[in-house]
Amino acid sequence: MAARNAFDADLQTLSDSLIEMGQFAAEAVEKALNALFAQDKVAAQEIIDQDDMLDEMENNIEQLCLRLLLKQQPVASDLRKISTAIKMITDIERIGDHAADIAEITLLLDIPVFSEVYDDLREMALAAQNMAKAAVEAYVKGDLALARETREADDIVDAAFLKIRNILGEIIRTKPEMMEAAMDYLMIIKYLERVADHAENICEWVEYYMTGEKA
C-alpha cells in the first residue's frame, strides 16, 4: 500500500508538472503575439531567453515518466496517463518553440503589421492562442467536450491562414519593396498554424487519456 501511495503521489507530480509546462507555453504564445503587435523588441527577447526553461521542463517530465514506468508495474490506466504525458510534452514544447520563433521575427521587423492583414492576423492570433490555452485547460479539467471543441477551432485558424497568405502573396506581387517584410509575416502565420496544430494534437491526447481511444 505504501508503494502504491508513493506511486500515486508521483503521478500527481506528473500532472502538476504537465499543467505548469502547458501554461508556460500558452503564456509564451500570448506574450509573443503581444510583442509582435506592439513591436516590443525587449519583450520579444525575453520570450526567446525563456525558451530554455521549457526545454528543461520537458526533460524533467520525461525523466519522471521513465522513473514511473520502472518504479513498479503500472496498471493500464497508469500506463495511459504516463504515455499521454510523454506524447503531450513534445507538442507543448513545440508550441513554446513557435512562440520563440515569432519573437525572433519580431526582433527583425522594422515595420508594423500590414494594414491589409491586421484584422485577420489578430483573429488568427487570438484563435491560435485560445486553442493553446484551452488544450491545457481540457487536460487540467479532464474536459472531453472542451477538447473536442478546441480541435474544431482549428478550422478558424486554417481559414485565416489561407486568407492572409493570399493577401500577402498579392503584396509581394504588387509591392516588391515590401517583399522581405511580407515573407516574414508569411512565416509568422505558418508558426501560428503550427501552434494550432499542436494544440489540436494535445486535445487528441486528452481524448486518448480519458477514453482509451485515439481520435
More confident residue, 214 or 20: 20
Please give the model's pTM, rounded to 2 decimal places: 0.92
The DSSP H or E segment spanning 158 is helix 154-174
Measured distance CA(110)–CA(20) in Å, rounded = 34
Reply yes or no on domain 2-211 having CATH 1.20.58.220.
yes
Which one has a higher pLDDT value, 129 or 2? 129
**Quick one: how far is CA 110 from the chain centroid?**
26
Q: How confident is the model at residue 112 (pLDDT cuts 50, 70, 90)?
A: confident
Give per-residue pLDDT as tens, 173-190.
999 999 999 999 999 999
Q: Which of 95, 100, 113 is nearest to 184 (CA)?
A: 113
Q: Residue 66 and residue 85: Cα distance in Å, rounded?
A: 11
Can you read off the three cell numbers belonging to residue 55? 526545454
DSSP 46-61: HHHHTHHHHHHHHHHH
Segment 52-89, tens digit of pLDDT: 999 999 999 999 999 888 876 778 888 888 998 999 99
Distance CA 134, CA 183 (A): 30
In this structure, is the dihedral angle defined by the CA atoms of residues 157, 163, 165 and 168, taken in order, positive or negative?
Answer: negative
| pLDDT confidence tier of residue 3, bands split at 50, 70 and 90 | low
- Do 192 and 157 meet the contact criterion of CB atoms below 8 Å apart? yes
Contacts of 63 (CB under 8 A, 6+ apart): none
**Tens digits of per-residue pLDDT, 116-141?**
999 999 999 999 999 999 999 998 88
The length of the chain, given as a count of residues: 215
User: How many Å is the maximal CA-CA distance in the chain?
Assistant: 72
Radius of gyration from C-alpha coordinates of the chain: 19
Q: Where are the domains of the chain?
A: 2-211
* C-alpha–C-alpha distance, residues 127 and 160, integer Å: 9
Sort 158 into a burial class: Cβ within 10 Å, 0-12 / 13-18 / 19+.
Answer: middle
